[in-house]
Structures are given as C-alpha cells and as structure tokens.
Chain A
Amino acid sequence: MKRTIALVLALTVLPAGVAAAAPAPQTTVTAIEGEVMCPICGTLLELSDSPQARREKVYLAKLVAEGRSKAEIKDALVSQYGPEVLAVPRGSGFDLTAYLVPIVALLAAIVALALAVARWRRDGRGTSEAVASEHPLPDEDAERLDADIARYDL
C-alpha cells in the first residue's frame, strides 16, 4: 500500500517539479530565424537549408529551450559566429552609419528640394516680369487682353 501511494505521489508530483525546473521559452526559433544570417550562405537563416545553417538552427533551438531572451540569444550567436550573423546591424560603432546615412541623405534631399523649388519660383516670377517689361502691349491690345482674361474665370 505504501509503495502504491509513493508511486502515485511520484507520478503526480515529479512531472510538476520537472516542469517547474525547465525554463519557459521567452521566444521562438521562428522569431529569430528571420533576424539572423547563415553567415557562410550569405542569406537569412530561415531561407537557408545548408549543412552549416542546419547546425546553426540546432544551436538556436538549444538556446531558445534554455529560456534565453531574444537579445541574449543574439549575443550568444555573435559570440559564436561573429557580428556577420546579425541580419540587422546594431545601432553602435560603424554599424550606426547604416541608420544615419539614409536619414542624413533624406534631410539633405529635402533641403535641396526646398532650395530648388524656391529658386524656380523666384526665377519664374522674374521671367514673366522681364517678358512683360520687354514686350509692352499697346493700350488697346492690353485692354482687349484684360477683357479676354476676365471672361475666363482663371
């Protein structure tokens, strides 16, 4: 009877204890596969099925099963495979240029466009004024032109 009770206890309590000891995964393999590279293949890990990529996926699954966070897993991958393993450059050091250059280029383009538009408008106004002063119309023609223009509600 005691053995039966012990067995029942073992079957009910032990699995719960094991479950409590195992860390809960904080992320999934799928969530990370799209953000890291297979460095030797030069493609995203999720797109590669080379032998090296398969090993990397096994290693990644092990890290996920250990309950590590996404950032911790990426750090571990970098320590094993080098910074080339990251699909998205980190926001520090030279990698920062990957983010800064497009922003600077966009700002420069906006400023250049604004300056160009201002110049075109200024030149356009100057040209029409110059045409008007270079080719003055006789009074009669000018009145008829004004009348014609007035007929159109421009």
Chain B
Amino acid sequence: MSARSLVAFLAVLAVIGLLAFGLLNKGGAKVAVGDPVPDKVLPRLPGPGHGSLAEERGKWVLVNLWASWCIPCREEAPLLERFYRRERGRGVAVVGIDVQDNEDDALAFLHAHPTTYTQLRSVGNERSAAFGSTGVPENFLVNPHGRLALIWRGPVDDEFLRERVVPLLASR
C-alpha cells in the first residue's frame, strides 16, 4: 500500500469513526425486558442527598420517568401515590425520576402533586437516554433482582396497574 493510499484510508476511517461516535451518542440505549435496570446515583427531590434504584434492591420497583411540563404526568402522580400506599407493605416501591426539566419547576410540580415515594432528578436527557425513553411519562417495573420485568412507554392508569403490574408482583 502506497503512502498516499494509506493516508486516504486513514482519512476515510477517521470520518467513519466520527460518524459512528455521533450516532452512538445520539441514539438512546435500547433496554428490553430481562435487562438489568439502568441505574445511577441521582440527587433527591427535594434535596438534600442522593439516591438510586439500588437502594430498593430486593423489592419490586415501579420506576416512573416524568417531567413538570408533561400534562399526563399530573394525573399519573396521585395514581402512583395511591398504588404505592396500597402495595408498599408487600415489598413494592415506586421511584419517580424527573427528566428534561429544571429543578424549580420539578419542585413546584411536587408541591402541586405531592408524593411520598422516592423522587430523584436527572440532569437533562441523561436518564431518558439510559432508559431508551422517547418521551414522558414512561414506566418500568423492576423485579427484586434488579431486572426489567415490564416496560410501558406511556402513562399508566388504574386498569393497567391492576391487570398488568399487580399479577407480576405475585411472581417473585
């Protein structure tokens, strides 16, 4: 291979590398049922302190991605609170993760729609990308071993919780 061919080859390789890097960073992760739940230590809402899904290991955890500007999230928050109160005695936790939001708005949302379950905050799009999320709200049921048991890309309602989530809780 001549020096000129080598330079051309390296230039093409560099361009392909940059394109691949860009695509990998742009696209969110693809998560599927059975995968370990994406986890990270995040600031609590309201602060101080941090928390993570790992703290709930050994329980079923319903992870709810939400944002203050999301209209369905307003109806979902009290529903999830009711579900949490009903099921927490049976080893079930709910963890809300605020995404694509600013902290002031997130706190105002929680003031208007109070919850007693754990609330965490992700900066920007980072957690949405980790969950392969395309919007809010999205819900993920995590089994006691930390693996995804159910993925629901949309708001949940009573019927969904009763017919899709509760039966899974019995299958430890």
Contacts and interface: CB of A to CB of B under 8 A. Distances in A.
B68 interface: yes
Interface of B: 11, 18, 67-71, 100-105, 123-126
A93 interface: no
Contact of A55 (B11, B68, B71): B68
Interface in A72-120: 79-85, 97, 101, 108
Given A51-B69, A51-B71, A108-B11, A59 B124 contact: no
Contacts of B105: 55, 59
The A interface is mostly helix, strand or loop, or mixed, namely helix
A52 B123 contact: no
Give 6 nearest A-B pairs by CB, closest first.
A82-B124, A51-B69, A80-B102, A81-B124, A52-B69, A59-B102
Contacts of A55: 68-69, 101-102, 105
A54 B71 CA distance: 14
A97 B102 contact: no
Interface of B is mostly: loop
B72 to A, nearest CB: 12
B124 A83 contact: yes
Contacts of A108: 11
Contact of A59 (B70, B104, B123, B125): B104
A145 interface: no
B135 to A, nearest CB: 8
A56 B18 contact: no
A39 B67 contact: no
A81 B68 CA distance: 13
B123 A101 contact: no
Nearest to B121: A80
